[in-house]
A and B are shown apart, each in its own frame.
Chain A
Amino acid sequence: MNLASHADFIVAAYGAAAAILGVLILWVMFDYRALRRTLAEFEDEGVTRRSDHTARSPL
């Protein structure tokens, strides 16, 4: 493979693609962790949704 002629453009294109998609992946991961943490905090405080309560009741 000869990248010599326009190597900087090729590397920049793949770098930009990796950066954009990488930021999206990181945002999804951190968002998921934050949401799970918030839900766990609610659960610790005893706040549960009605459907959760129904699902856990013996009926």
Chain B
Amino acid sequence: MALIDYANPSKFLSFADRVLPWLIGCAALALAFGINQVYGAPDDYQQGATVKIMFVHVPAAWLAMFGWGVMSIAALGTLVWRHPLADVAGKAAAPVGAAFTLTCLVTGSLWGRPMWGTYWVWDARLTSVFILFLMYLGVIALWRTIDEPSRAARAAAILTLAGAVNLPIIKFSVDWWNTLHQPASVLRLGGPTIHPDLLAPLLIMAFALALLFFALHLAVMRNEILRRRVRTMHLLQAQAAPGS
């Protein structure tokens, strides 16, 4: 079967039904292994044991931005190519991305209190990630506001592409402004500055949470296709009703 065949919702559903159990199983195994690695990771020489929060905070931050990236590509698919599954993919990524952004904000706040002495500060990195979270909520609200899926898809796609400008702001905020948040220490031109003993569990957790992200995205896409079928059934039932 060619990749283009999965553009057909029925074929995509059968693909999702086959792939999801494997994806969920792999994500669960990878998470179990990752948490085991986190447990055995050494303390940081400055931050002590609180560095363990990094293993969930940093992957959540990466996936928060990745989620909006997925939505941006899907938005192009909706506006430029009018791909049948593009708006489904875009809509499905929003709650998943929002959950990872909230995870990033909450874990960051809980890491900030012992390290910075405060749960929150309005510096450029924290504020731009908070704006990302509000944008996710905005897209979810927009989808719920407009009944007709194709109209909602176009509006959400425009909002998504406009919001994509926040991604480089989040990434480079620690370089462009003086922030309490530390500069990049993994995804940087000169290579990671983290000790390998801490980098390895971080990458394993990032891989595990990425698998969870893909599994959830696929599951929400499947739900969205089913929701549209339910909507079609309601319309058919209304049309068939006497007097309609």
Inter-subunit contact B107/A49 (CB<8 Å): no
Please give the number of chain A residues whose Cβ is less than 8 angstroms from any Cβ of chain B in the complex. 33
Inter-subunit contact A35/B48 (CB<8 Å): no
Inter-subunit contact A9/B111 (CB<8 Å): yes
Determine how close the nearest CB of chain B comes to the CB of A42; give it in whole angstroms.
Answer: 4
With A and B bound together, what is the CA distance between A12 and B50 in angstroms? Answer: 11
Contact with B along A1-31 (1 / 0, CB 8 A): 1111111011011101100110111011001
Task: Specify the main secondary structure of chain B where it touches its partner.
Answer: helix
Task: Specify the main secondary structure of chain A where it touches its partner.
Answer: helix
List of A residues within 8 angstroms of B216 by Cβ? 24-25, 28
Given contacts A32-B226, A39-B230, A47-B237, contact A13 B219 (CB under 8 A): no
Determine how close the nearest CB of chain B comes to the CB of A8; give it in whole angstroms.
Answer: 9
Please give the number of chain B residues whose Cβ is less than 8 angstroms from any Cβ of chain A in the complex. 39
**Other-chain contact of A6, B56, B114, B240 (Cβ < 8 Å):** B114
Q: Which of B37-60 contact A (CB under 8 A)?
A: 39-41, 43, 48-50, 52-53, 56-57, 60
Contact with A along B105-144 (1 / 0, CB 8 A): 0110011011000000000000000000000000000000
Residues of B within 8 A of A (CB): 10, 39-41, 43, 48-50, 52-53, 56-57, 60, 95-96, 99, 102-103, 106-107, 110-111, 113-114, 212, 216, 219-220, 222-223, 226-227, 229-230, 232-233, 236-237, 240
